[in-house]
Amino acid sequence: MAYDVLRAVSDSDAYANLLLPTAIAEAGLNPQDAALATELTYGTLRRRGTYDAIIAAAADRPADAIDPAVLDALRLAVHQLLATRVASHAAVNESVNLVALTAGRGASSFANAVLRRVARESPGDWLARIEAAARSDDERLALRAAHPVWIIRALRRALAAEGRVEELDALLEADNVSPEVTLVALPGLAEPQKPRRPYAVTAFASPGGDPRLALSASDGAVRVQDEGSQLVALALTAATPLRAGERWLDLCAGPGGKTALLAAVARQNDAVLEANEVVPTRARLVRNALRAVPGEVTVHERDGRELAAERPEAFDRILVDAPCTGLGALRRRPEARWRKSPADVAELVPLQVGLLTAAVDALAPGGVVAYVTCSPHLAETTAVVEEVRRVRPELVELDARAVLHGVAQAPIDLADDGRAQTGSAQLWPHRHGTDAMFLALLQRPLETTDAPKEG
């Protein structure tokens, strides 16, 4: 099962977090086997770069010169040999059999030779060998922490902006640890159970790590959702005092987790929520997420920039959960680190700026937009906010940190970026146990005055 998921990730750009749970459920695996399949899949994906370097050294050829189907089997085997308690002979034999089934006996002989060579040395010996061949300190860190160099540098810059660059090793380590399953209890429809999460009033951990029982009994009122995602949605609702009759918009709603939470809060406060998602399959996910919340939420299938442009001054609160690189969720989607490149950032930033600019123009006077990304990359976060504020200088940036402090049930360590009484907030896996969610809150003034004319 783990091998099939790895092949789908490699061949079809599939997402392991979508494929694996379905495969486990369809196979009816017991909890122990499900845990093993999960560890094999996610562990192999997380440390793919490190394992490729070890395989290349053991095979005396670059990893990308090995047949992809064989390479995935080798990666899976190396993870078992170097990072699990699976017996070495079992890991080698099962993986060689996989290669024989998928690529033939010649390839299986090659795999057998490579894996027996890997099994002869300890994990520490292999790590020392590949690090010795690195060309820079960052490349050594990339091999040790299983992150591409460009991501390490982006994370370092983001932490440095907070004066916390010394936390880099802890962040990289947190990215390589399986995250706790966190659930949301939609307000007014379900009550959070124990154990509770520390910050969001709606968040709790799944007892025993398996959420299926809690989910099936709730009819959609309890859902899997990272606590950071819950916090940023709740922050939008708490940024200014709520008034009955407000109009809200979730501009980039798919797959619908934040939409459902906003809809539940809107229902409690006599607000009207609309949602938008440009991708039809994701729009269907949004509608499905909303089924648990009584009342009608219109879900549009439009380019968010066009929709917002057609609704000037129409909304009191807008969530822009912008498409991003997802570098803040590498714990949950480990394959993303090997798929993304700096070119993806350059492609996404204009879209992020366009969506946020359009959302600002759709705000009613006094309205607030929450700009959210699941990425701490500065080009996708503070740089986007600064660019929008440059072209819309009348905007007021609220203190997102203060709003999160007000929303959180327990003290939350949010680093100051040096700006007094204003500024964005960044959550982190190593510091908060959440995805690395970024939040900025921009408010349109109640009254705007024209700039003085020259002369």
Supply the residues annotated as catalytic. 374
Contact status, residue 263 vs residue 290, Cβ threshold 8 Å: yes
What is the per-residue DSSP string for 47-76? THHHHHHHHHHHHTS-GGGS-HHHHHHHHH
Show Cβ contacts of residue 309 under 8 Å, excluding neighbours closer than 6 positions.
Answer: 358, 361, 362
Prior bond to 195 cis, omega within 30? yes
The token pair at 270 is 């006599």
Cβ atoms 71, 32 nearer than 8 A? no
In sequence order, what are the residues at sequence separation of 6 or more whose Cβ sits closer than 8 angstroms to the Cβ of residue 454?
Answer: none
Gap between the Cα atoms of 157 and 170, Å rounded: 15
- The residues, ordered by sequence, that sit 6+ positions from 196 with a Cβ below 8 Å of its Cβ are 203, 204, 205, 409
Contacts of 423 (CB under 8 A, 6+ apart): 397, 399, 400, 401, 416, 417
Instruction: Report d(CA 96, CA 113) in Å as an integer.
Output: 10
CB 24 within 8 A of CB 37: yes
